[in-house]
Structure 1
Amino acid sequence: MAVREIPLFINGKAVASASREWRDVRNPTTQEVVARVPFATAAEVDQAVAAAKEAFRSWRKVPLVRRMRIMLRFQALVREHTEELAALITEEHGKTLPDAEGEVGRGLEVIEHACSITSLQLGEMAENAAGGVNVYTLLQPLGVGAGITAFNFPVMLPCFMFPLAIATGNTFVLKPSEQDPSSTMRLVELAHEAGIPPGVLNVVHGGPDVANMICDHPDIKALSFIGSTPVGTHIYNRAGAAGKRVQAMMGAKNHCVIMPDANRSQAISHAIGSCFGAAGQRCMANSVIVLVGQAKEWLPEIIEASRKLKVGPGIWRDADLGPLVSPQARQRVLGLIESGVAEGASLALDGRNVQVEGYPDGNFVGPTIFTDVRTDMRIYREEIFGPVMCVVTVDTLDEAIAFINANPNGNGTSIFTASGWAARRFEEDIDVGQVGINVPIPVPVAFFSFTGSRASKLGDLGPNGKQAIQFWTQTKTVTSRWFEPDNESSGVNTTITMK
């Protein structure tokens, strides 16, 4: 099988990189090299930004209705090519095909939302705010925007960035993850097939050096990042120091509260699916299960149901968990499991030695469950990003809320309950950005904004929804008065008052 070389995408064309630094992209199920991706040179990053800067001059003036029509064609193409995109995700990331198809669907929601740009980018107007004076606002694009995405959602995360940025009149430079770039590149090709002009959407590949070039580049005006906390903090600080508008969605340690009055089978099923889906490689995975009161008695059922999950390659449609993205990711997860044992947690279900027949080289880790977990343990303090569940027990809802709010992160959380009072109390008092009530993965639909609190988010505005429109535009306020021809002035007004 020929190994494809991933190009850059600059000024509407695939461009072969002149870089001397390349990385192998491997199938995480077999370790087969399926692609090679370049780490762009400084000159290539400059070319991409220059193309975006030049394209902005005309793109910003393209009528809203034309941008809307491009997004309408784009969403139709993504829908048509869902299976192709999902297959590329599975090949390079490892998640199961049904999960990959679901990812494409969640990305498609954002493109569909961008199709409403003719109403999303409306300003406000007050007629006769003063005598003969109208005041109105314009939501104008910033210029060249950029995005840096993590590996775990190679289609959805770019969709969290460039569709709305471009629809609002900006141009864009995207740096996808170097670990699984092919599905992102196919997404960009479909965007250009839909009619996005040359230079409006560009792609460069690379690691930390390329990310730093994007942070520092003076012609990039705004930067969106989704990934880990250490990297996100660095990017937020560095890009902010360079004068950019920045949003950084970062790490998580999400908790799922199960109340004793919850629908037992639904709560257990959804909690397990949230924790172990995508082999735990989701920033929205509920990796800490908080059993309240008599729900503690459900633990054996949770363990047994988790034991029955099927581990296998993503191409098996009946697999529940695929492999981790890389051998390094697998070794990190195994090391954290070892630390949990060493620090005194009880290993109720051990997934370290899972074997998948026919795939001896896959990066597989089976469902793993710890009980007797303390907050000072590494398995609780760190985002494991693998199929590892930490189970904590408390006596009351108040204890559960206090326990979650004491964690440094505030990305997502869920509660399973039949009590409206408990649900209302939870949503009101919990200090977490995304809250699910009997919903296991509380990623909001795309016409609501993706949020976060505390260490999970830096910047005031998040992706998607109204906040994304605000992030990718600047508000210009116009105060306007028109005089009747030959109308004589009534005198000089030296005050700030409008008359």
Structure 2
Amino acid sequence: MNNIENFSQDGYVETETDSAIQVLGHFIQGNIVAKGSKTQPVYNPAVGSKSKEVMIADTETVNYAVQVATEAFPEWRNTPVIKRARVMFKFKQLLEENADKICELIGQEHGKISHDAKGELQRGIENVEYACGAPEFLKGEFSKNVGPDIDSWSEFQPLGVVAGITPFNFPAMVPLWMFPMAIVCGNCFILKPSEKAPSAALYLAELLKQAGLPDGVFNVVNGDKEAVDALLHHPKIQAVSFVGSTPIAEYIYSTATSKGKRCQALGGAKNHAIIMPDADIDNVVNSLLGAAFGSSGERCMALSVAVAIGDEVADVVIAKLKQEMQQLQFGNYADSSNDFGPLISQAHKDKVQAYIQSAEQQGAKIVVDGRDARPKGFENGFFVGPTLIDNVQANMTSYQQEIFGPVLQVIRVETMQEAMQLINDHEYGNGTCIYTRDGEAARYFTDNIQVGMVGVNVPLPVPVAYHSFGGWKRSLFGDLYAYGPDGARFYTRRKTVTQRWPAAQVREAKQFAMPTLN
């Protein structure tokens, strides 16, 4: 990549050797920069071909971004919190004004249908709205006269330079879970977005600059494992937030904490929905369709397992699902009549299809098979159609692993207690829900299920921005959830000050006992 001609304002770098292919750079010190010795293709998953390339940061590039952020920190830390909040207010306005552009970038690289991308962005904007309240949630506590002429107060101070590593499935929303809160709390932030869908993050950086954020406070480095490791090992990085698969979450958490860093790492999921005999089956089927197949099932909160109480319930649900699934449409992101789009890559498509095949080989019944999906005009895209699998057992590979595709599995049990035991026994505890009209059953379920986010007749119980997001068991590594009140605590540390001004004419005696405030 030595033939760099110029940098455009939209994050692209043009090369003399192949001007038809746009090359995405990094965003450092308020500008798009080209650093690193290699690039990686970025695909349009609907057509299955390369649309762009992205520069892959090496350790030197990451170190440069950290240096820039470190130099920007003292001034940003001392910027009054109300001024930091005003940047977020302006940023929110710009996000809304440029929503169509952001959703277009999401669709181009992830394949997410436009209406789904708008929902993703709106959820992200809600986190920016919450961050605008920083003057309230950062003001600390004050106690006067805790002892004779002694006052005490606490305050929440920023950590310094922090980093976020985000996945491909939510190119805008998950970064917006992280950096608005971190920045408004006074930190400088380095984002390492997914190299599979990097454009949205670069555009968000441009909008932040337009909102008045000083250069160096927010930086974006595109990269692979080398970039991740450089962030994890850099001594100036104080905290790391991650969302992705469990094996990587475990690696990031163990590496970061071994280096003395604060870390929250959100991992995988296997989200179950219990269908009680008294549930409104028509409503259940409609919500399952969206919760299982929306965004091609590439959601950590996707409902991938329906646990039916009794064969009668299972038979009715499967029959109605099979009928409704024939009406689902999938294809290109720009066609808003489509319900969902492609998977992110050919490799991921192969992985999802292998899980379906393994279920069939291990004795499950493929009721609706999406493995041969080829939408007209997009035959080379990375598509898997909606798939429904019955008679799934807990020992099957497809049940134990997170498929992360448009696949809904049905497990039949006899009792609610058996269903809850199945959920509690699974290694993941991200999200779950119960469909019922029985308040007693719902209350028992919410009290006793060992899962972090629980819905009652709500298939995707994603907390709103002023609560916090996180699972249990091997779905979360760390003590604090993402965004909301936990986000504010993650990106700050408490300092408590106890102060007294004794009278100058009073000479105090020596005191060797433990001091008390009596």
Q: TM-score, normalised by structure 2?
A: 0.94
Match of 2:385 among 341, 346, 366: 366
Partner of 2:281: 264
Match of 1:421 among 423, 440, 445: 440
Match of 2:461 among 435, 442, 446: 442
The Cα shift of 1:220 comes to 0.2
CA distance in 2 between counterparts of 1:423 and 1:120 reads 33
Partner of 1:466: 485
> SS state of the match for residue 202, structure 1?
strand
The Cα shift of 1:34 comes to 2.0
The one-letter code sitting in structure 2 at the alignment partner of 1:168 is: C
Match of 2:72 among 43, 55, 61: 55
Matched, 1:400 2:419: yes
The Cα shift of 1:261 comes to 1.5
CA distance in 1 between counterparts of 2:119 and 2:258 reads 37
CA distance in 2 between counterparts of 1:260 and 1:136 reads 55
> SS state of the match for residue 418, structure 1?
coil
Matched, 1:20 2:37: yes
Matched, 1:348 2:346: no
Partner of 2:357: 338
Q: What do you get for the CA RMSD once the two structures are aligned? A: 1.1
The Cα shift of 1:122 comes to 1.9
Matched, 1:196 2:223: no
Once the two structures are superposed, what CA deviation does each residue of 1:137-172 show, in whole Å capped at 9, x if it has no partner?
A: 110000000000010000001001100000000001
Matched, 1:141 2:158: yes
> SS state of the match for residue 454, structure 2?
strand
Partner of 1:128: 145
Partner of 1:389: 408
> SS state of the match for residue 160, structure 1?
helix
Match of 1:11 among 15, 29, 53: 29
Matched, 1:163 2:180: yes
The Cα shift of 1:99 comes to 0.2
Partner of 2:5: none
The one-letter code sitting in structure 2 at the alignment partner of 1:30 is: V
The Cα shift of 1:472 comes to 0.4
CA distance in 1 between counterparts of 2:27 and 2:129 reads 24
Match of 2:337 among 318, 326, 337: 318
* Structure 2, gaps ≥5 residues long: 1-18
The one-letter code sitting in structure 1 at the alignment partner of 2:506 is: N
CA distance in 1 between counterparts of 2:177 and 2:220 reads 15
Map 1:205-216 → 2, pairs under 5 A = 205-216=222-233
The Cα shift of 1:32 comes to 3.3
> SS state of the match for residue 265, structure 2?
strand
Moved more, 28-37 or 165-174: 28-37
> SS state of the match for residue 482, structure 2?
coil
The one-letter code sitting in structure 1 at the alignment partner of 2:165 is: I
The Cα shift of 1:281 comes to 0.4
The answer as to whether partners of 2:264 and 2:481 remain within 8 angstroms in 1 is yes
> SS state of the match for residue 303, structure 2?
coil
CA distance in 2 between counterparts of 1:264 and 1:345 reads 23
Aligned length: 497
Partner of 1:494: 512
> SS state of the match for residue 239, structure 2?
strand
Partner of 2:121: 104
The answer as to whether partners of 2:272 and 2:423 remain within 8 angstroms in 1 is yes
CA distance in 2 between counterparts of 1:165 and 1:196 reads 13
> SS state of the match for residue 308, structure 1?
coil
The one-letter code sitting in structure 1 at the alignment partner of 2:233 is: D
CA distance in 2 between counterparts of 1:20 and 1:492 reads 65
Partner of 1:307: 326
The Cα shift of 1:497 comes to 2.5
The Cα shift of 1:33 comes to 2.2
The Cα shift of 1:332 comes to 0.8
Q: TM-score, normalised by structure 1?
A: 0.98
Once the two structures are superposed, what CA deviation does each residue of 1:227-270 show, in whole Å capped at 9, x if it has no partner?
A: 00111111111111111000000000010111121222211111
Matched, 1:229 2:243: no
CA distance in 2 between counterparts of 1:57 and 1:424 reads 49
The Cα shift of 1:184 comes to 1.2
Once the two structures are superposed, what CA deviation does each residue of 1:281-330 show, in whole Å capped at 9, x if it has no partner?
A: 00100100111234223221122212321121111111112011111111
The one-letter code sitting in structure 2 at the alignment partner of 1:441 is: L
CA distance in 1 between counterparts of 2:82 and 2:292 reads 42
The Cα shift of 1:485 comes to 3.5
> SS state of the match for residue 287, structure 1?
strand
Matched, 1:380 2:399: yes
Partner of 1:430: 449
Matched, 1:289 2:300: no
Once the two structures are superposed, what CA deviation does each residue of 1:410-439 show, in whole Å capped at 9, x if it has no partner?
A: 001111111111111111001101111111
> SS state of the match for residue 316, structure 1?
coil
Partner of 2:192: 175
Matched, 1:89 2:106: yes
* Structure 1, gaps ≥5 residues long: none
Partner of 1:255: 272
CA distance in 2 between counterparts of 1:64 and 1:197 reads 14
The Cα shift of 1:355 comes to 2.1
Partner of 2:9: none
CA distance in 1 between counterparts of 2:322 and 2:151 reads 65
CA distance in 2 between counterparts of 1:321 and 1:102 reads 13
> SS state of the match for residue 301, structure 1?
helix
Once the two structures are superposed, what CA deviation does each residue of 1:388-409 show, in whole Å capped at 9, x if it has no partner?
A: 1110112222111111001000
CA distance in 1 between counterparts of 2:326 and 2:235 reads 52
> SS state of the match for residue 161, structure 1?
helix
The one-letter code sitting in structure 2 at the alignment partner of 1:268 is: V
